[in-house]
Structure 1
Amino acid sequence: MIAILWEYSVLSEHVAEFERHYDSSGTWVIFFRKAAAYHGTVLLRDADTPGRYMTLDHWNSFDAYQSFCTEHEAEYRRIDAMCASLTASERCLGLFTVL
């Protein structure tokens, strides 16, 4: 199993909406649950830096993640565009093997 770690800088006026879309029952999780290879997302809020969040997306493999995103590209882009205004920045910090 792998985990993909993402970091976000969330605009203060959009914190509640961001949490609603990115938490363990949010928009992204509902979308990714269509894939049998998806095993959940953990949303983390930085205790010291307001607006800093991270997500850990768990998948069987990176190939499974990429295949799903390619097969569902239109919906992925729609959700991504909808959420883009909630953050000042978003970046993938890496792909990790779950031990």
Structure 2
Amino acid sequence: MHDDTELPSEGHADVRVVAATPEVARRVAEVVRRCFAATEQRSYPAGPEGGTLLRLSVDTTRPAGPARTWLESSDSASGERSPEDGPRRDEP
């Protein structure tokens, strides 16, 4: 870990996306934002070869959409699946 990097507060995560194009980085950030509350993304050049570095912070204590469903079902000790979870990989 770099000295200039602070740890995020409890329940939060800093996400870094490195992609060849800004559009690809934005698409990945959109998926993350659909699952968790997130700050506005910040993007930077990734390096001398090109590409995009995108950073955002997410609040994992406030899941939304697919993450909420997944987190709720993963907390279940009974192993039952809700219909919203969709089929397992081994199910048709």
Normalization by structure 2: what TM-score? 0.38
Normalization by structure 1: what TM-score? 0.36
Structure number with greater Rg is: 2
Q: Is the strand fraction higher in 1 or 2?
A: 1
Q: Is the helix fraction higher in 1 or 2?
A: 1
